[in-house]
Amino acid sequence: MGKSETKTANFRKGQATGPGSKRAVMRGLSVVGPFLGVCLVVYLTLAQTSDAGVREHGRAHAASSIAVTDTAHMTLAHNGGEYITEEGQAHGTIPGHVRALLIVGPVVRAKFTIYANGGTIRGEGSGRPKGRTEEPSFQGAMSVSQGTGRYKGAHGRGSFYGQLNLRSYKMYVSTSGTLYY
Amino acid sequence: MTLLAFLLATVGAARAGAAELAPVAHLHVGLVPEELGKGTTIEFGFTITGAGGGVPPPLTRMELRYPDHVGIVTSGLGIASCKQILLEEEGVIGCPSRSLMGYGEATGEAVLDGEVLEESGQTAIFMAPLANEQINLEFYVNGETPLEDQLIFPGVLTTASPPYGGDLVITVPLLPTFREGPDIALARLHSTIGPLGVTYYERVHREFVPYRPNGIILPQSCPRGGFPFAVSFAFANGTNTTSHDYVRCPDGHARHEAHGRVSGRQRGRGSARFAWAGARAVSRDCCDGCVCR
């Protein structure tokens, strides 16, 4: 299991100070006072907006990127013809109960949900069969497009390998990829 | 007449000629039994006649499209595979029982000295090893009379656009009646894909125990208009033809039925036509030291 977190820092604009005597400053103020007043209002307005933007920006990029490697042994929950539902327990980076809807045709398509601690992760993938006829394997690309709870806004990409026994409908799945949330 | 006009006229005439020469095919399909959410066997058959009602041109390619959401891969059928070389060397006996997916009979025709020669034979569909990330099949024909010959055509299961869920594509080589004789044309075929009349054997400890595979699981709901099937043919003379059929929704699901053409039917279970039992293909399973119940 590997985990690397990246967080953006909140940068604040520095305040510039200039040299000069108090009198000179007062004289300057009398000349540029009104201008500075306007500038101060503009600055404060901008600063407020900027701070809000930085906070929002910071929140958006405070997401973790996690290298995920999970495996699951699953069994048949429902056989609906071309659609079969498999359930099991995922182990690895994000453990939890996993439920997958498979469309098993010339191409195997899978939509899965991992009910992990604190939230759910949803994604899908597809692959073409190969290997043994009785227990074909399929591998391909997968993507995570949804999440809830602590995984709200989760997204990511990776690959998966699956093996489905067409007699017992037992399935083994292995996934790896990067998840952002 | 300009050159372009001449070419267009020539192409048009050629197309019209080809259309006139296109054979006519009639597909008929049944589901036995037809219970939504349950396993079934697809019984299909077709006849092909020449444009004038005579012998059709030889077939080079056949595509059978089956409905979307029908679970052929999850049917429990064809969970073992039979290599082409086994079929060639040993016939159906050489194949594992669990590779048999269906069987039937075919009739070919050829015109010889002005007379129509008929050749009939039994057919079987076997699952072949997965290759090129595709589900492969072997279509086996055991010619009986008058020409005794075994023929094997490769097939592949591919995706199809809705309302179809898959496409069984079979490439058919030209089959001469004899050396330098006319090629045989496929005129009729009746076959099953499913567990009807098929017995599988699985090894439990040291015994081979028979069982019947689940069958092709139908979806829980019937599509509007019934379950659609289609068969397309390509012929050696360059013509093509397609035929469609629908299996009506079972009773109680009439709300889904279409107003259009619905010509599906359900034949009796265990038709004598399909009596060529899959049980013949079990010897490979019953190996030395094992007992078949």
Residue at which a domain ends, from A39, A62, A85: A62
Q: Which residue of B has its CA nearest to A137?
A: B133
Question: At A74, is the secondary structure helix, strand, or coil?
Answer: strand
Do residue A102 and residue A40 come from a single domain?
Answer: no
Residue at which a domain ends, from A35, A62, A89: A62
The region of weakest confidence among A15-29, A97-111, B57-71, B222-236 is A15-29
Do residue A97 and residue A35 come from a single domain?
Answer: no
Supply the pLDDT for residue A54.
Answer: 38
Q: How many domains in chain B?
A: 1
Q: Give long-range contacts, CB 8 A cutoff, 24+ apart: B132-135.
A: B133/A128, B133/A129, B133/A130, B134/A106, B134/A128, B134/A129, B134/B158, B135/A106, B135/A129, B135/B73
- Residues 234..263 of B with a Cβ closer than 8 Å to A: which? none
B219 touching A, CB under 8 A? yes
The region of weakest confidence among A87-91, B5-9, B59-63, B100-104 is B5-9
- As a whole-number percent, the residues of chain B with pLDDT over 70 amount to 77
Range(s) of the domain holding residue B233: 23-292
Per the structure block, which two tokens stand in for A82? 């071309």
> What integer is the mean pLDDT of B59-71?
92
Do residue A95 and residue A173 come from a single domain?
Answer: yes
Residue with tokens 């009979």: B105
Do residue A51 and residue A72 come from a single domain?
Answer: no
The region of weakest confidence among A55-69, A96-110, B2-16, B42-56 is B2-16
Optimal mutation site among B31, B64, B74, B159, interface A, most CBs of chain A within 10 A: B74
CB contact under 8 A, B219 and A132: no
Residue-wise pLDDT for A121-164, tens only, equals 999 999 999 999 889 999 999 999 999 999 999 999 999 999 99
**E-only strand ranges, chain A:** 2-4, 65-80, 83-92, 96-104, 108-116, 119-131, 136-147, 155-164, 171-180
CB contact under 8 A, A84 and B78: no
The verdict on residue A2 lying in a domain is no
Residue-wise pLDDT for A79-133, tens only, equals 887 889 999 999 999 999 999 999 988 889 999 999 999 999 999 999 999 999 8
The verdict on residue A8 lying in a domain is no
Residues of B in contact with A107 (CB under 8 A): 159
Do residue A163 and residue A75 come from a single domain?
Answer: yes
Supply the pLDDT for residue A5.
Answer: 37
The verdict on residue B157 lying in a domain is yes
Residue-wise pLDDT for B79-136, tens only, equals 999 999 988 888 888 899 999 999 999 999 988 888 888 888 999 999 999 988 889 9
The band of B5, judged by pLDDT with boundaries at 50, 70 and 90, is low
Do residue A103 and residue A165 come from a single domain?
Answer: yes
**Separation of alpha carbons A84 and A140, rounded Å:** 19
- Residues 80..99 of B with a Cβ closer than 8 Å to A: which? 80-81, 98-99
Range(s) of the domain holding residue A45: 19-62
> What integer is the mean pLDDT of B265-292?
40
> What integer is the mean pLDDT of A13-40?
44
Optimal mutation site among B36, B98, B130, interface A, most CBs of chain A within 10 A: B130
The verdict on residue A13 lying in a domain is no
Residues of B in contact with A130 (CB under 8 A): 130-131, 133
> Which carries the bigger pLDDT value, residue A61 or residue B157?
B157
Task: Give whole-number Cα distances, B57 to B82, B175, B182, B239, B246, in Å.
Answer: 31, 12, 10, 9, 26
Q: How many domains in chain A?
A: 2
The verdict on residue B17 lying in a domain is no
Q: Can you tell me the ipTM of this complex?
A: 0.72
> Which carries the bigger pLDDT value, residue A15 or residue B69?
B69
Closest to A131 measured CA to CA, from A103, A108, A112 = A108
Do residue A114 and residue A30 come from a single domain?
Answer: no
Taking the model in full, what pTM does it have? 0.74
Strand partners, B140: B124, B152
Do residue A118 and residue A159 come from a single domain?
Answer: yes
Check whether A31 has a pLDDT greater than 70: no
Q: Are strands B207-211 and B291-292 parallel, antiparallel or unpaired?
A: parallel
> Which carries the bigger pLDDT value, residue A8 or residue B37?
B37
The verdict on residue B11 lying in a domain is no
> Which carries the bigger pLDDT value, residue B19 or residue B180?
B180
Do residue A54 and residue A93 come from a single domain?
Answer: no
Check whether B196 has a pLDDT greater than 90: yes
> What integer is the mean pLDDT of B67-77?
89
List the single residue in B129, B131, B220 with the smallest CB-CB distance to A80: B220
Do residue A159 and residue A83 come from a single domain?
Answer: yes
Do residue A120 and residue A57 come from a single domain?
Answer: no
> Which carries the bigger pLDDT value, residue B207 or residue A44?
B207
The residue type found at B133 is: E
Do residue A84 and residue A155 come from a single domain?
Answer: yes
Residues of B in contact with A131 (CB under 8 A): 130
- Cβ distance A76 to A169 under 8 Å? yes
